[in-house]
Structure 1
Amino acid sequence: MTALHAEAPTGLAEPWGGASRVVDLGGPVHWVDFAAPDAAGPAPAGAPLVLVHGLGGSHLNWVQVAPALAEGRRVVALDLPGFGLTPAAGRDTGVRANAALLGRFIDEVVGEPAVLVGNSMGGMVSLLLAHSQPERVVGLVLVDPSVPTGLSTLDRMVAVQFGLYATPVVGEQFLARMRQRYSTRQRVAGTIRLCFADAARADAAVLEAGAALLAYRDSLPRAEAEFLRAARSLLTVLRRGRSYADLIRAVTAPVLLIHGEEDRLVAVAAARRLAAANPHWQTEWLAGVGHTPQLEVPERFVAIVEPWLAALPR
């Protein structure tokens, strides 16, 4: 098994009951087990949950909801290549490559079909897998997933930022300048302001863990290139709006869509169009909430997800 860098902060999820693991899937993949099955205990109540983070995210995006979701079922969160504690190690960090890796993770680590809970880019990755390998997916919880947003509803700051990401050389220079100008805590705080409707809701312990993880990623030689490859592949899928919409409609797994009405990255208008095109989905709109409900309002998030999971066919 390939090991992580010796200085990797693998214990960040321990305060929330997460046990750090590493598996070799063409290179190291870091993941966190929040509820390892007990051979002597009762069988899990439902399908396992695999938590899939968004662009720039990690397993830490789930620590405030994973312990509650893990009561009675197995819950794991992985760091996709190029994010968190998983280096690219020569692997493609684009969304389609990460969807394929997610399928392999389900086969080799989880060992049975799973419910995918994907936020932002993680929602796109989960949809791509559910379309290409439906036998591995029991259901989907899409949390403010990446979907096409019309220019009329696109947040100006977000449009500028992703425009920079999309431009060769400029994107690299922009990320390098941000790293030089701002501390890890300042950058994490900036992400919170972008992703939350109310930054005061952020948990201090999660912020500290996020800053420690970002400091580690700053020490890696190709972290910015790996991030930009993922961002650019995401934008490529979004630009092919019609084919992406057709792919989404072809997904047969049950879907729960949760979306914050104050989301600046994926406008709620775009999510409402997505829901209208897929009327068989269950949808939940969260007033006064931004792009990461599982971090901003974790109790409300769990209260929505738990009944939906309980209603899934066994």
Structure 2
Amino acid sequence: MTTRPESGTGTREAPWSFAAPWGARGWVTDLDGPVHWIEFDRPGDAPPRDGVGGDAPPIVFVHGLGGSHLNWVPVGPTLATDRRAVALDLRGFGLTEGTRRTSTVAANVRLLDRFVREVVGTPVVLVGNSMGGLISLVQSRVHADAVAGVVLLDPALPQLGQRPDLRVVAQFLAYAMPGVGEMYMRAARTRMSPKQYVQQVLELCFVDPTLARDDLVEALVALAHERRRVPGAEAAFLSAARSMIRVMSNPRRFGAEIRGIQVPVLLINGEGDRLVSIASARAAAAANPRWETRFLPGVGHTPQLEAPDLVLDAVTDWLERHPSLGSSRGVAS
């Protein structure tokens, strides 16, 4: 079993255990406010904490808009077999409280960088989905010394090519409009139970929502119940959504920035994604020929939940083929 981490300031065991069925233990670390994260058990002894001694670079999972640490439980245990694997809740999501100011993309990049340096303490492989993919890209560009490699799972990208899903367009237009977004969020909270909310998200993110495992759905609903107690959750969500929309509104600048990333990158994208078109993913791959890509037919926006075996095959093969991802080096503090 994973023991209490030695790294990180003010770390204590979390009072929640939503990810326990998947061999993960929760922690809360004070990083200018409490930040919740989980660590997946490694077989045998507790995982190494200092990132030295030839251990492979740790994995840090970064969820998307509206997501949490639970987005990674289908793949975390397997990827933790040969390295440390942790998943944090960004500010404003999961079990980490946030505000309008602290839940933006830029603020969560700062949180991720501090988490990597103070809690993990060594260059990491970032695995980011949706908004978490965007945050991972920015982290890799701005704080390259803290990143060994990046896996992008349907990352947030400027929309190109095919006609966008009208339901998604309407939803994000509502988020973007001051006043309208707040009314939309209040109405959704009043109208839907936690179970209905989770089902709506699965229908949006999966091509086939029936593929969602019952135990995962149960955990997601329990977490949604808990989040109803979190103050300011709707305001934090809208702040994150609006900041993401602003970043995506300048595709030329965004494209120029990500082309500067030097570490190995693996892009995995579901061809049935309603939120990020496959045309956008293919365009990003074409503009970054050093990236490796894997497109998944019949899979939606969260492939790690809908098709975890395919994701694990792609990620483990990619890790094995990159010697730089099999050994650790120091990180500047």
Please indicate the TM-score interval, normalised by the length of the shorter structure.
over 0.9
In structure 2, the CA distance between the partners of 1:184 and 1:274, relative to structure 1 (3 Å rule), is: same
* Segment of structure 1 superposing worse, 30-39 or 11-20: 30-39
RMSD: 1.8
Shift of the alpha carbon at 1:152? 4.4
What is the aligned partner in structure 1 of residue 169 from structure 2? 159
Q: Distance in 1 between matches of 2:12 and 2:100?
A: 15
CA apart distance, 1:127? 0.6
Q: Quick one: distance in 2 between partners of 1:150 and 1:91?
A: 29
Partner of 2:245: 235
Q: Normalising by the residue count of structure 1, what TM-score does the alignment of the two structures yield?
A: 0.94
- In 1, the alpha carbon distance for the partners of 2:12 and 2:104 equals 22
1:297 has 2:307 as partner: yes
How far does the alpha carbon of each residue in 1:94-143 deviate from its partner, in whole angstroms, 9 at most, with x for none? Answer: 01110111010001100100000000000000011111100000000000
Task: Name which of 259, 272, 275 aligns with 1:265.
Answer: 275
Q: Aligned partners of 1:68 and 1:44: how far apart in 2?
A: 20
Instruction: Work out the CA distance in 2 between the residues paired with 1:267 and 1:44.
Output: 39
Out of 96, 116, 120, the residue aligned to residue 86 of structure 1 is 96
SS at match of 2:152: strand
Structure 1 unaligned blocks of 5 or more:
none
Q: State the match for 1:72 in structure 2.
A: 82
Determine which of 35, 39, 46 is the counterpart of 1:33. 39
| Aligned counterpart, 2:296 | 286
Q: Where does residue 140 of structure 1 map in the other structure?
A: 150
What is the identity, as a one-letter code, of the residue corresponding to 2:67?
A: G
Q: Which amino acid aligns with 2:96?
A: T
Distance 1:280 1:158 in 2: 31
Distance 1:44 1:83, change over 3 A: farther
Which residue type is aligned with residue 195 of structure 1? C
Q: Distance in 1 between matches of 2:24 and 2:226?
A: 19
What are structure 2's unaligned runs of at least 5 residues?
1-9, 328-333
Residues in 2 aligned to 1:200 and 1:44: alpha-carbon distance in whole angstroms:
42
Deviation at residue 92 of structure 1 after TM alignment: 1.3
Q: Distance in 2 between matches of 1:76 and 1:310?
A: 20
Q: Cα 1:82–1:74, aligned 2, differ >3 Å: closer, same or farther?
A: same
CA distances 1:242-271 after superposition (whole Å, capped 9, x unpaired): 111111101111100000000000000010
Structure 1 residue 304: Cα displacement: 0.7
Q: 1:177-216 residue pairs with structure 2 within 5 A? A: 177-216=187-226
| 1:277 lines up with 2:277 in the alignment | no
Residue number in structure 2 paired with 1:249: 259
Q: CA deviation at 1:311?
A: 2.0
Contact 1:44 1:73 in 2 (8 A): no
In 2, Cα distance between the equivalents of 1:280 and 1:90? 36
CA distance in 1 between counterparts of 2:175 and 2:40 reads 33
**Partner amino acid, structure 1, of 2:184:** F
**Which ranges of 4 or more aligned residues in structure 1 deviate by more than 3 Å?**
1-4, 42-45
Q: 1:183-215: per-residue Cα shift (whole Å, max 9, x none)?
A: 110110010010001111001111111111111
The answer to whether residue 115 in structure 2 is matched with residue 109 in structure 1 is no
Does 2:20 match 1:10?
no
Structure 1 equivalent of residue 6 of structure 2? none
Do the aligned residues in 1 keep the contact of 2:57 with 2:125 (CA within 8 Å)? yes
After superposing the two structures, state which structure 1 stretch, 43-52 or 230-239, moved more. 43-52
For residue 300 of structure 1, report the CA deviation from its aligned partner: 1.1
Deviation at 1:62, TM superposition (A): 0.2
2: CA distance, partners of 1:238 / 1:120:
12
Question: Residues of 1 paired with 2:161 and 2:270: CA distance?
Answer: 19
Aligned length: 309
Contact 2:134 2:156 in 1 (8 A): yes
Secondary structure at 1:117 match in 2:
strand
Q: Distance in 2 between matches of 1:60 and 1:3?
A: 19
- 2:3 matched residue in structure 1: none
Return the letter of the residue paired with 2:112.
Answer: L
Superposition map of 1:50-65 within 5 A: 50-65=60-75
Q: Are residue 19 (structure 1) and residue 29 (structure 2) matched?
A: no
Are 1:121 and 2:131 counterparts?
Answer: yes
| Secondary structure of the structure 1 residue equivalent to 2:125 | strand
Q: d(CA) in 2 for partners of 1:89 and 1:33?
A: 25
Partner of 1:223: 233
Alpha-carbon offset, residue 221 of structure 1: 2.3
Cα deviation, residue 38, structure 1: 5.0
The Cα shift of 1:217 comes to 1.3
